[in-house]
Amino acid sequence: MGYATNNGDGYVKPKEFVKEYSIKSLVCCFSGGKDSLVATHYVMNELKDLQIHKEILWVDTTIMLPIVEPFVREVCKKFGWKLTIVYPERTFLEIAKKKGLPRIHRRWCCDPLKMKPMFNYIKGLPPQRGAVTGLRRAESTNRKDYPFVSYFKKSYWLYSPLIEWTRKQVETYIRANNLPNPPQYKFHLKETCMCGAFANQREFEILKACFPDFWNQFVNLEKELKGYACFNFKGKPVYAKDLDKQTLLQDKIEGMEGKKQ
C-alpha cells in the first residue's frame, strides 16, 4: 500500500486508487464547498465508466446554511449523480442547549453531527469501501502530513485527491469545467456548516442580514442559555442579542444576493 505517503511522491489517480485498494463501494463526501465540489467532480468524471458502486454523500448537520442543500441537490441532478443525505442522531440545537456553542478549542460538534453519521453510513456499504474528501494541506497546518490515502477506523479508505492542490488550482478547475460556484461565497461566507466555532462577528452580521430565520436560532439559543455569549472573538464575548439590535450598514452586504431566505 505504498500510496499512503506524506511527501507527494505517491500521488494517486482515481482509477489507481480503486484498483490498488480493490474498492467496490465509493462515496464522495460533498459538503457543498469548492474543494469538495472539485474533488467530487474530478473523481466521478474519472470513474464514470468504471462499474463500481458510486454515490454522493451529504451530511445535514442540522445547522447548515439553508442555501446549501438545494445547491447540492441541483449539482447532483445536473451531473446525474446518486445523492444520499444522512442526519445525526441529535440536532445541533439539542446538543447546544446543554453544551453551548462550539469554540475553536472546544469543537464538540464535528464528531456527533458530521463524522458519526458519515461513518455509520459508509461502514454499511459492501467492502472494500472508499470515501473521497476535498481536504487540502494548504487549508490547515494540521494537515501538513496528511496522506493521499489513509485507513479510517479499520472500516474504509479515505482518499484525498486534492491534498496537494492550491486554492488557485481549485478555482482554475472550476472555471475549466464550468462548474457552478457554491452560493455561500456570494454572501462572503466560507463555511457551509455555521456551528459558530470558526465564525467571526462579520459572518454573524451577514447571517442576521441575509438569513434572518436562520439567525434567530442563535438569538433564541442564547436566551435559553441565559448569559451565554453565542460568539467569542479574540477572547471577547459577543452576544447575539446585541448584534440583533444593531442596524447594519448597507456596505456590509453590498453585492450580496438574496438578502432574505
The domains of the chain, with CATH numbers, are 14-170 (3.40.50.620), 199-245 (no CATH)
By mean pLDDT, which of 28-32, 44-48, 170-174, 195-199 is the weakest? 195-199
CA 253/CA 72 separation, integer angstroms: 24
Percent of the chain with pLDDT over 90: 61
Helix spans in the chain (H) = 14-20, 34-46, 68-79, 92-99, 110, 116-122, 167-176, 201-210, 212-225, 240-245
Is it the case that residue 256 has pLDDT exceeding 60? Answer: no
pLDDT band at 248 (very low <50, low <70, confident <90, very high): low
The more confidently predicted of residues 208 and 37 is 37
Is it the case that residue 17 has pLDDT exceeding 90? Answer: yes
What average pLDDT does this structure show over 73-96?
Answer: 97
Are residues 43 and 18 in contact, defined by beta-carbon separation less than 8 angstroms? no
By mean pLDDT, which of 87-96, 143-152, 183-192, 210-219 is the weakest? 143-152
pLDDT band at 6 (very low <50, low <70, confident <90, very high): very low
Helix spans in 47-188 (H) = 68-79, 92-99, 110, 116-122, 167-176
Q: Which residues pair with 25 in a beta bridge?
A: 53, 129
pLDDT band at 8 (very low <50, low <70, confident <90, very high): very low
Q: What is the pLDDT of residues 214-241, one digit of tens each?
A: 999 988 988 888 877 777 776 777 788 8
What average pLDDT does this structure show over 102-108?
Answer: 81
What average pLDDT does this structure show over 97-118?
Answer: 89
pLDDT band at 24 (very low <50, low <70, confident <90, very high): very high
CA 114/CA 116 separation, integer angstroms: 6
Is it the case that residue 251 has pLDDT exceeding 60? Answer: no
CA 197/CA 204 separation, integer angstroms: 12
pLDDT band at 10 (very low <50, low <70, confident <90, very high): low
Is it the case that residue 76 has pLDDT exceeding 60? Answer: yes
Is it the case that residue 244 has pLDDT exceeding 90? Answer: no
- List CB contacts of 185: < 8 A, sequence separation 6 or more: 34
What average pLDDT does this structure show over 126-148?
Answer: 87
